[in-house]
Amino acid sequence: MEAGLSYRVVKRVLDIAMASVGLVLASPLLLLAAIAIKLDSKGPVIFRQPRLGLNAQPFDVYKLRSMYLGAEKLGVYEAKDDPRVTRVGRVLRRLSLNELPQLFNILKGDMSLIGPRPVLPFHPWPLEEYTEAQRKRFQVKPGLTGWAQVNGRMNVPWEERLRYDAEYAENLSFRFDLRIFLKTFGVLLSMRDSYNTSETATRRGGDE
C-alpha cells in the first residue's frame, strides 16, 4: 500500500510535467486544428462530454470536435465511414489528434497520462451493473492511453477491456506505465483499430 501510494505521487508529478511539455509542443498543431474545425463545419472547437473518473466520480472530458452538431442524438460511438463525422474530424480521429485537449484534463487532475480510458456514465452499462472485479478500474484515474488500448484498442469487446482495466489497477507501477507508454507509439504509428466495429459500438461494446 505504501509503495503504491508513493508511486501515485510520482505519477502525478510525471503527469503534470509531461502534459505541460505536451501542450507546449502540440500548441501549433492545436491552433491549426482549431482553424480547420471552424472552417469545416459549424460549432465549437472543443467538445465536452461527461465521463466517470477516479472513484467513479463524473467529470467533463475535452476533445477536439470531430462530428457535426447534434450527432450524438443518432448514437454515442462512431464507426468506420460514419456520416456524422466531419471531413476534418476523420483526419483528427485517424491520427488520434482529437484526444489532445485531454492534456488539460491531466493538468486539472481529472486524468492521468496512462490509465483506463474514461467511460460514459451509462455506457457500456450503468455503474450499478459493473461487477466487483470491473469496478476496480475506478480505483485509478482514467488515462489518455491504457492497457486495453495497446491490446486491441477499439476492437476489443467491453468485457475484455474492463478485465484489462482491472488488471492495470491491480498492478499499478512505473514499469507497467512505461511498458504501456512505449507500446502506445506503435499503436499510433500503425493507426490500427482506430474505429469501433459494429459489435463494439453496441451497448455491450465500443469505446470513445
How confident is the model over 98-119, as pLDDT tens digits?
Answer: 999 999 999 999 999 999 999 9
Residue 145: inside a domain, yes or no?
Answer: yes
pLDDT, the chain, mean: 87
CB 136 within 8 A of CB 169: yes
The answer as to whether 200 is a domain residue is no
pLDDT of residue 61: 97
Q: Give domain status of residue 204, yes or no.
A: no
Higher pLDDT, 208 or 66: 66
Pick 208 or 169 by higher pLDDT. Answer: 169
Arithmetic mean of pLDDT, 5-25 = 95
Q: Which of these, 72, 83, 82, 156, lies nearest to 116 by C-alpha position?
A: 156
Helix (H) or strand (E) holding 20: helix 2-40
Tens digits of per-residue pLDDT, 113-154? 999 999 999 999 999 999 999 999 999 999 999 999 999 867
52-103 pLDDT tens trace: 999 999 999 999 999 988 776 655 555 556 788 999 999 999 888 999 999 9
Is residue 147 domain-resident? yes
In a domain, 161, yes or no: yes
Predicted local confidence at residue 38, as pLDDT:
95
**Beta-strand (E) ranges in 12-146?**
46-52, 58-64, 112-114, 143-145
Instruction: Determine the structural domain holding residue 153 and report its residue range.
Output: 2-190
208 pLDDT exceeds 70? no
**Residue 7's beta-bridge partner residues?**
none
| Res. 190 pLDDT band, cuts 50 70 90 | confident
Q: Which residue has the higher pLDDT, 155 or 128?
A: 128
The verdict on residue 57 lying in a domain is yes
Q: pLDDT value at position 80?
A: 59
- Number of domains within the chain: 1
DSSP character string of 92-109 = HHHTTGGGTTHHHHHHHT
Asked if residue 133 belongs to a domain, the reply is: yes
Residue 207 placed within a domain:
no
Residues with Cβ within 8 Å of residue 50, at least 6 apart in sequence: 58, 59, 60, 61, 120, 121
The more confident residue out of 20 and 193 is 20
